[in-house]
């Protein structure tokens, strides 16, 4: 064999070995489908940013693909079925699904595990100024826009039920609710979000009230629907209707994962997000206002209820030197 031919054969062999090694690396990378929301939702960007943080931290070990979904309720079902590996959802709905209680009775999802405490979001209960309604009790019989199938709609309906409040519900979509309020078709509505654009839109054309809640109402909620009554204080000036700080109903958005995702993969996902948390809250308003950077503390403060995945629990033990509460330790 000629010397030149031998050289090229060796070169080709080395190239094949390198390509083979690269292919093996790619094959070995854990492929994660991370459910999000509709791309039209302002929360879609949150999941994209979280997934990007993981891909950046572990480019050859984890490949995250963000998947558009119908939202939080759908994410829970898809995690249980393994069509996605993880995704965000309301913590109270996830707790009900995990336990198989309330609206998940008979269709429990015991394979759900949590990653972190998430971020808290207020749900503003709104009435038109002309209605004269300024209290929760005043909502009885009031024409009230209800958005079925939404996370906020689920918890608000349960909240009113726990308090014995019976508005005159008018079923409609989110966009239609704004128009209905403006037209006077309904005199009440609710909207999740901190400084929500839909409420700002309403206030640009009409006077509204934002109804305060009480600690007693939250206690009643939790008596009937455990771990569903959450609250946060919203500041004066957030909207024109808020002339002083007041207590608002709230829910916590957390990310949940199937128990069968390997422990080392979950550990790395949590570590990547933890290491990027300051940057994440600096760039995403909902995460900043919702205290997402307090990833572990939020789970404790708001009674997450769905146990940590063992990989997440191991990360918090290693990093924060904490003892995980018993209800957040996954069953073996």
Same structural domain for residues 39 and 108? yes
Q: What is the CATH number of the domain that holds 124?
A: 3.40.190.10
Rounded mean pLDDT of 311-327? 97
Same structural domain for residues 112 and 261? yes
pLDDT at 19: 40
pLDDT at 27: 52
* Residue 302, H or E segment: none
Radius of gyration of the chain (CA): 24
Same structural domain for residues 182 and 246? yes
Same structural domain for residues 218 and 267? no
pLDDT at 10: 39
Same structural domain for residues 259 and 246? no
Structure tokens, 160: 């009113």
What is the pTM assigned to this prediction? 0.86
pLDDT at 11 over 70: no
In the chain, the number of structural domains is 2
Rounded mean pLDDT of 131-157? 95
Rounded mean pLDDT of 134-151? 95
pLDDT at 3: 46
Q: Where are the alpha helices (DSSP H) in the chain?
A: 3-28, 44-57, 72-81, 91-99, 151-163, 174-183, 197-203, 215-224, 263-283, 285-289, 295-301, 310-320
Same structural domain for residues 233 and 165? yes
What is the span of the domain harbouring residue 101?
3-119+253-328
Same structural domain for residues 189 and 215? yes
* Residue 189, H or E segment: strand 188-192
Q: Convert the pLDDT of each residue in 202-253 to its tens digit.
A: 999 999 999 999 999 999 999 999 999 999 999 999 999 999 999 999 999 9
Of 221, 251, 281, the residue at which a domain comes to its end is 251
Q: Convert the pLDDT of each residue in 34-80 to its tens digit.
A: 999 988 777 899 999 999 999 999 999 999 999 999 889 899 999 99
pLDDT at 47: 96
pLDDT at 166 over 60: yes
Of 228, 251, 274, the residue at which a domain comes to its end is 251
Same structural domain for residues 169 and 156? yes
**141 burial via Cβ count (<10 Å: 0-12, 13-18, 19+):** exposed
Residue 164 to residues 141, 159, 218, Cα–Cα distance (Å): 12, 9, 13
Same structural domain for residues 276 and 181? no
Of 200, 234, 251, the residue at which a domain comes to its end is 251
């Amino acid at each position: 064999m000629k010397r030149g031919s031998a050289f090229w054969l060796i070169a080709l062999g080395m190239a094949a070995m390198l390509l083979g090694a690269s292919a093996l690396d790619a094959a070995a990378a854990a492929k994660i489908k991370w459910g999000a929301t509709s791309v039209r939702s302002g929360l879609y960007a949150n999941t994209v940013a979280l997934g990007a943080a993981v891909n950046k931290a572990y480019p050859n070990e984890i490949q995250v693909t963000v998947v558009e979904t119908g939202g939080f309720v759908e994410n829970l079902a898809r995690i249980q079925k393994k069509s996605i590996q993880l995704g965000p959802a309301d913590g109270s709905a996830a707790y009900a699904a995990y336990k198989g209680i309330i609206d998940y009775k008979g269709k429990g999802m015991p394979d759900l595990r949590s990653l972190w405490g998430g971020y808290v979001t207020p749900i503003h209960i709104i009435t038109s100024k002309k209605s004269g309604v300024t209290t929760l009790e005043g909502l009885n019989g009031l024409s009230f826009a209800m958005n079925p199938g939404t996370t906020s709609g689920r918890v608000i309906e349960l909240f009113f039920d726990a308090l014995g409040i019976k508005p005159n519900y008018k079923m409609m979509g989110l966009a239609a609710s704004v128009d209905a309020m403006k037209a006077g078709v309904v005199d009440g509505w609710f909207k999740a979000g901190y400084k929500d654009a839909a409420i700002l839109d309403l206030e640009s054309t009409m006077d509204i009230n934002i109804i305060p809640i009480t600690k007693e109402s939250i206690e009643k909620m939790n008596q009937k629907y455990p771990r569903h009554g959450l609250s946060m204080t919203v500041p004066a000036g957030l909207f024109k209707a808020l002339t002083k700080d007041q207590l608002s109903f709230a829910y916590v958005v957390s990310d949940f994962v199937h128990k069968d995702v390997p422990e080392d993969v979950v550990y790395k996902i949590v570590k990547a997000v933890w290491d990027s948390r300051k940057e994440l809250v600096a760039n995403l308003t909902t995460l900043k206002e919702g205290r997402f950077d307090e990833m572990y503390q939020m789970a404790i403060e708001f009674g997450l209820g769905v146990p940590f995945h063992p990989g997440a629990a191991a990360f918090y033990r290693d990093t924060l030197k904490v003892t995980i509460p018993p209800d957040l330790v996954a069953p073996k």
